[in-house]
Amino acid sequence: MTVVSDGGQPRIVAAGWEPSAKLPPLVFRVPGVPQPQGSKRHVGGGRMIESSAKLRPWRDRVVFTAREALQGREALASAVLEVTFWFPRPASVSVAKRPRHTVKPDLDKLVRAVGDALTEAGVVTDDAAIHSITASKVYVTSPAGSGVTVVVTPS
């Protein structure tokens, strides 16, 4: 056994283990209004479907963009995820009235949609492979700026 530190906590690894070359983070932006992956509803016969009809097209855009950015890289078995969700500020809501995006959709449900899309796209082996998440919701001045910025860092 050998003790190795790769910038983080020291860890014990098998003899002969060599750290692989660090891959750069995968960074991409998906335009559109982010959609949460919330509750499912039962439709009979043991079938469950997403409650929101807007979720599937949103996840498909995330999957498509992630696959384009992936460029043949293998799925990660361990990753750190950073996401920023950009929402258009309603005309009726001033910066003074609500400086931060503190209304629905819930941040955890937005992250859930991205995590599942990253799995479907082959960026990570499973969304359980994401061991650390930093996420935020912010307003943009123009609806054209809405979307999500995703950074997946191998770990």
pTM score, two decimals? 0.81
Write down the pLDDT at residue 127. Answer: 94
Total domains in the fold of the chain: 1
Residue 14 within any structural domain of the chain: no
- On the CB side of 19, how many CA atoms lie within 13 Å of its CA? 14
Write down the pLDDT at residue 69. Answer: 97
Domain that holds residue 122: 20-154
Residue 3 within any structural domain of the chain: no
List Cα–Cα distances, 142 to 10, 104, 150, in angstroms. Answer: 46, 19, 20
Q: Of residues 40 and 58, which shows the higher confidence score?
A: 58
Q: Model confidence over 47-79: pLDDT tens digits?
A: 766 667 899 999 999 999 999 999 989 999 999
What percentage of residues in the chain have a pLDDT greater than 90?
Answer: 70
CATH at 53: 3.30.1330.70
